Chains A and B, each alone.
Chain A
Amino acid sequence: MKGRTISPGKAEGEAIVSPEPIGFYGGIDIKTGIVIEKNHPLEGKKIAGKILVFPCGKGSTVGSYVIYGLKKNGVAPAGIINRETETIVATGVILAGIPCVDQIDIDKIKTGDRIFLDADKGMIEIKH
């Protein structure tokens, strides 16, 4: 599938898909990369090293710094795929240098799929 480059780079890994938006500030633990938002579909799941797939970001603008912090702490997702990347996530992935592509039909991706993300070209490939 072809989308739009938000932040360049390449990554390969296992998809973890959230049907709901993600708010990084208060939603993800910065030290462990575990989703801590109460009643979130990914609550208790670890995003570190995965290809994190969600429709869009939400919540505080401090979320950008949390994405940067996850990377510094070595628990960031390997790549991010969105339906629509808004400014909080865009700012975070660019600062952190995490490959990110948006304008992707994320309904076609399932948790556990093996994904190759070439954000330089804005491409994603699902390997079955």
Chain B
Amino acid sequence: MYLTKEEEKILDGEKGEVLERMFRLLVRLGDIYGADKMIPVGSVQVAGVSYKSIGDPGTEFLEDMASKGAKVKVLTYLNPAGMDLENWKDFDFPEDFAKNQLRIMNAFKKMGIVVTSTCTPYLAGNLPRFREHIAWSESSAVSFSNSVIGARTNREGGPSALAAALCGVTPNYGLHLWENRQPTIKIKVDADLVFNSDFGALGYYVGKQVKNKIPYFTGIKKADTDQLKSLGAAMAASGAVALYHVEGLTPEADLVEKEGLETISVGKKEIRETYDNLNSGKKPDIVILGCPHSSLREISRLAEKLEGKHLKKPIWICTSRMIKEAAIRMGYDEIITKAGGSIVADTCMVVSPIEKMGYKITGVNSGKAANYLPGFCKQEVVFANIDDLVEEML
């Protein structure tokens, strides 16, 4: 790989031990994947934030870096943490878990990373532009930024994203290159997609079929950003889809080469079967919405449904701290809380220790959450649209 004189100096240790090690990581990854050079990144999103995911080794690694004075060079956001960072006591998150989680957050903050903790950074102040090179980690955020915004990122691991943040560059390979952003399979959709969960089911089904290919969708007549968020998140979870195109809706769809591709058809039958396959439980102990983190629009819709109602069992809706602040200002938080629900910020059900909090069956409207909850949190899952889930809890 070509390195500038400045970059050679980093590798020779002239800019300190931390930068040398992190830059070496980027160079090696670039060599493995055939990058020709480093390219500057506009922003970074770092995964590996929850204590549940990274444990003591990750925590100690981050503290060690922070203590050696490492500082990020570009706007850097974080993936969800293992708990609500301010109201964790109210939600009964375990005390020792909280202590370790806060150590992790402090280490990140010391490095100049914005302690945001969200899988939807683009809704919370980290918004890349079309064709901007970025280094993001969380798989649904990677999918959204590549597909819906048209920014360019590979799916980074926690340490490689952190390295990009500290060095301000990433190796030029994979989805940073236009030739690698072309669709490799066509998906013909013939189904009425109404609820966000319908898009989650479609995404789950397609992800299973196409694995790490780049799908080009036809037949999706309309979809708002919340629904595209659900679609991409599910495909990234059940498969490894980091980029997709939707005819008429996403910015690169008109520009890419889509002739002569193998085609898969998805109809009402496949969507219905996916709902059935994802359901392993009957009556949820808790409903958790906001995977990926909710937009203000999704929270306002839940508030509408809960106004003046009383829940028998809890509903959580997960989001970023920024969106929660707006929900408080708009009175949605009060409506949801009065009904017996909660807006939970900074975390999500996949990375928080819900299995240790007494819950066994979780209701979700997210294909991604339905994919991960059985394994990561030992939950049985009720996968349904938001209307049916709310009805179930009243």
Chain A residues in the interface with B (C-beta under 8 A): 4, 6-7, 30, 61-62, 64-66, 68-70, 72, 85-88, 90-91, 94-95, 97
Contact = CB atoms under 8 A, between A and B. Distances in A.
A57 to B, nearest CB: 11
Contacts of B21: 94-95, 97
B29 A64 contact: no
Given A91-B159, A94-B21, A72 B60 contact: yes
B31 to A, nearest CB: 8
B32 A65 contact: no
A87 B48 contact: no
A88 B31 CA distance: 15
A88 B157 contact: yes
Contacts of A62: 48, 53-55, 58, 158
Given A61-B48, A95-B159, A69 B25 contact: no
Contacts of A70: 57
Contact of B32 (A64, A66, A72, A87): A87
A69 B60 contact: yes
Interface string B9-50: 000000000000100110011011000000000000001100
Nearest to A5: B28
A90 B32 CA distance: 9
A113 to B, nearest CB: 26
Given A64-B159, A91-B157, A95-B159, A6 B57 contact: no
A6 B28 contact: yes
B160 interface: yes
B56 interface: yes
7 contacts: A6-B28, A61-B157, A62-B54, A62-B58, A90-B28, A91-B159, A95-B61
Given A87-B160, A95-B21, A66 B57 contact: yes
A64 B62 CA distance: 13
Contacts of B58: 62, 65, 69
Given A62-B158, A64-B159, A66-B57, 17 more contacts: A6-B28, A30-B55, A62-B54, A64-B157, A65-B61, A69-B56, A69-B57, A86-B32, A87-B32, A87-B160, A88-B157, A91-B25, A91-B29, A91-B157, A91-B159, A95-B21, A95-B159
Contacts of A4: 31
A68 B64 CA distance: 12
A30 B32 contact: no
Contacts of B53: 62
Nearest to B58: A65
Contacts of B55: 30, 62, 65, 69
B48 A94 contact: no
B211 to A, nearest CB: 16
A69 B159 CA distance: 14
A65 B28 contact: no
Contacts of B28: 6-7, 90, 94
Contacts of B56: 30, 69
B48 A65 contact: yes
A91 B268 CA distance: 43
Nearest to B59: A65
A61 B158 contact: yes
Nearest to B56: A69
A97 B13 CA distance: 14
Contacts of A65: 48, 54-55, 57-58, 61, 158-159
A68 B157 contact: no
Contacts of A7: 28
B49 to A, nearest CB: 11
B57 A72 contact: yes
Interface string B155-193: 001111000000000000000000000000000000000
A72 B64 CA distance: 11
Nearest to B26: A94
The 7 residue pairs across chains A and B that have the minimum distance between CB atoms: A69-B57, A65-B58, A61-B157, A65-B57, A94-B25, A91-B159, A68-B61
